[in-house]
Amino acid sequence: MRIVLQRVRQGSVTVEGRRIAEIGQGLVLLVGVGPGDNSEKARALAEKVAYLRIFEDEAGKMNLSVRDVGGAAIVVSQFTLYADTQKGRRPAFNGAAPPEIARPLCDQFVEMLMGHGVPVQTGEFGAHMLVEIENDGPVTIQLEL
């Protein structure tokens, strides 16, 4: 699994003109699933995300997690994180897991993240989404297992 995590002041997801997710302070997580990924990787990444200390404390140091600041998360499935651009000019996505594998693992990741006390909203799997991100910092971190 691959995650691009962004610390945000606010974020939202819109599908076909409908706002389906919206948060204030927290995280927007772009989540890609590869064919070899499994529940154990989802569990480890959910725990990592929930407790990752990337929010500033009163001294301005990154010492607080999304849980500590009472933040929320938006999880957006993103197969394009597995784009292969080695040949030609059009990315290939053969490295991404097929939907029948990716969807359940994304759902498990969301459930596990909520199990760590992080309120989570989601994008719509397989839909064309407009993701609005007000990156705070900017802080953008890649996670992969």
Please tell me the predicted confidence (pLDDT) of residue 1: 97
Asked if 46 contacts 29 with a C-beta cutoff of 8 angstroms, the reply is no
Q: Please tell me what DSSP assigns to residue 104.
A: H
Catalytic residue of the set 6, 14, 55, 79: 79
Mean pLDDT of the chain: 97
- Confidence category of residue 50, pLDDT binned at 50, 70, 90: very high
> Whole-angstrom Cα distance, residue 44 to residue 96?
19
Please tell me the predicted confidence (pLDDT) of residue 112: 98
> Whole-angstrom Cα distance, residue 50 to residue 116?
6
Catalytic residue of the set 78, 109, 121, 122: 78
For the question of residue 142 being annotated catalytic, the response is: no
Please tell me the predicted confidence (pLDDT) of residue 13: 98
Please tell me the predicted confidence (pLDDT) of residue 29: 98
For the question of residue 78 being annotated catalytic, the response is: yes
For the question of residue 122 being annotated catalytic, the response is: no
CA 144 from chain centre, in angstroms, equals 11
Give the Å distances, CA to CA, from 56 to 41, 45, 68, 126, 141.
27, 21, 10, 34, 15
Please tell me the predicted confidence (pLDDT) of residue 98: 95
Q: Among candidates 39, 126, 109, which has minimal Cα distance to 74?
A: 109
| Strands 120-122, 130-144: pairing kind | unpaired
Mean pLDDT across 21-45 = 97
Please tell me the predicted confidence (pLDDT) of residue 69: 98
Please tell me the predicted confidence (pLDDT) of residue 115: 98
Q: The pTM is what?
A: 0.95
Domains of the chain: 2-138 (3.50.80.10)
Mean pLDDT across 45-71 = 98
Q: Please tell me what DSSP assigns to residue 116.
A: T
pLDDT tens track for 85-120: 999 999 999 999 999 999 999 999 999 999 999 999
